[in-house]
Amino acid sequence: MSEERRLDVLRAIVEDYVHTREPVGSRMLTERHRLGVSPATVRNDMAALEEAGYIAQPHTSAGRIPTDKGYRLFVDRLAEVKPLTAPQKRAIETFLSDSVDLDDVMTRAGRLIAQLTGQVAVVQYPSLRRSGLRHLELVPTGENRLLVVVITDTGRVEQRFLEVAAGLDDGTLGELRARLNAAAAGKRLGQLDAAFERVADAVPAEHRPLAVAVAELVTETLGQESEERIVLAGQANLARAGMRFEQGLSPVLEALEEQVVLLGLLTEMAVEAGVSVRIGHENRLEGLTEASVVTTGYGTDGDTVALLGSIGPTRMDYPGTIAAVRAVARYLSRVLPT
């Protein structure tokens, strides 16, 4: 059996099973696909694929269904990703561009992915650790208290209070704010220490403790990981007709509720360039062993600041899901608050 023909047969089985949700037989394959060989040859190819672990027979006298291994080969050998239509692309751009703030952007991105894929969408908020500093504001709120407002280049706003010496005048705060913003604007966490150190060295000695305290608070804030959040959308899609899981829906829903676990999975997938696909048992999460996760990164100026993706049954439309996730990530990168 030729390697290419075997891949064609596997591709046909995956496509038919995703479309019909029913085990696929050799007769169906020869009727629906131009494989260029007889039904007997297709049966031999299916037997070889089954022996190799790419397809399985769910019960006697049934057709075949893809295994996790079969889906993996199918995804790895995808020749092309199903393109989105022009109306779909315009709808994505319009819907995201109408957002008013970061929370709205995240929510809209999740809704888009869920609508385009008919599955669950997961959108990770931009990480503070991977964000750059766009603006810093210093607001006195009392004789000995200062509100430090950190605005990142991805639109996140963090507020922290700092105890300071009494008697700070507006001119001192204004000058320090200007120096810190000029030195640190757009810089990532790893670049801030040196930038802030130069500011502390340049201000008058009596203002140096304040400059150091503000700098430490900002770097601590941007270095925090406890603020990581994700948006989920489309959980109801899993309950619609055809979304069947052998172990039932409950384990999947329980896994989705564990946001810390999901964040861990996204962190693992973040190291993979481009679109990452985890299939079935590759997820190593008990509740997602019958699900597939498709993710990709988004960000500003070519830097990935977080991930977004889609979660659904292993019997998913992989080309369509990959195209939808890619498209939303691309548009999300364009409309992030600046």
Which ranges of the chain would DSSP assign to H, the alpha helix?
Answer: 3-20, 26-32, 39-51, 68-76, 86-97, 102-117, 170-184, 189-202, 208-223, 250-257, 259-269, 318-335
In a domain, 143, yes or no: yes
Going by pLDDT thresholds of 50, 70 and 90, the confidence category of residue 312 is: very high
- C-alpha 241/C-alpha 257 separation (Å) is 22
Co-location of 146 and 290 in the same domain? no
29 and 48 share one domain: yes
Kindly state whether residue 7 falls inside one of the protein's structural domains: yes
| Stretch 266-281: mean pLDDT | 86
Greater confidence (81 vs 230) lies with 230
Statement to judge: residues 117 and 234 lie in one domain:
yes
Residues 184, 273 within the same domain: no
Number of compact structural domains in the chain: 3
Q: Is the pLDDT of residue 250 over 60?
A: yes
CA distance 186 to 177: 15
> For residue 93, what pLDDT is reported?
87
328 and 237 both lie in a single domain: yes
- CA separation for the pair 70, 8 (Å, rounded): 12
The answer on 107 and 166 residing in a single domain is no
**Residue 22 belongs to domain with CATH number:** 1.10.10.10
CA distance 56 to 77: 20
Please state the rounded mean pLDDT for residues 76-99: 85
Tell me if 234 is assigned to some domain.
yes
Mean pLDDT, rounded, for 189-200: 80
Beta bridge partners of 211: none
The pLDDT value given to residue 211: 86
The answer to the question of residue 247 being in a domain is yes
Q: How many CB atoms lie within 10 A of CB 220?
A: 10
Clarify whether residues 67 and 205 are in a common domain.
Answer: no
Query: Per-residue confidence at 232, pLDDT binned at 50, 70, 90?
Result: very high
- pLDDT given for residue 174 in this prediction: 86
**Selected residue with higher pLDDT from 136 and 108:** 108
CATH number at residue 152: 3.30.390.60
230 in Cβ contact with 270 (< 8 Å): no
Q: What is the CA radius of gyration of the chain?
A: 26
Pair (43, 190) in one structural domain? no
Q: Model pTM?
A: 0.75
- The answer to whether residues 118 and 141 belong to one domain is no
Q: Cα separation of 321 and 119, whole Å?
A: 9
Confidence of residue 166 (pLDDT cuts 50, 70, 90): low
pLDDT at 243: 62
The number of residues making up the chain comes to 338
Long-range CB pairs of 274-282 (<8 Å, 24+ gap) are 275/322, 275/325, 275/326, 277/75, 277/318, 277/322, 279/68, 279/71, 279/72, 279/75, 279/314, 280/68, 280/71, 280/314, 281/68, 282/68, 282/72
Mean pLDDT for 188-212 is 82
Residue 143: give the domain boundaries.
133-223
Task: Clarify whether residues 120 and 234 are in a common domain.
Answer: yes
pLDDT value at residue 335: 81
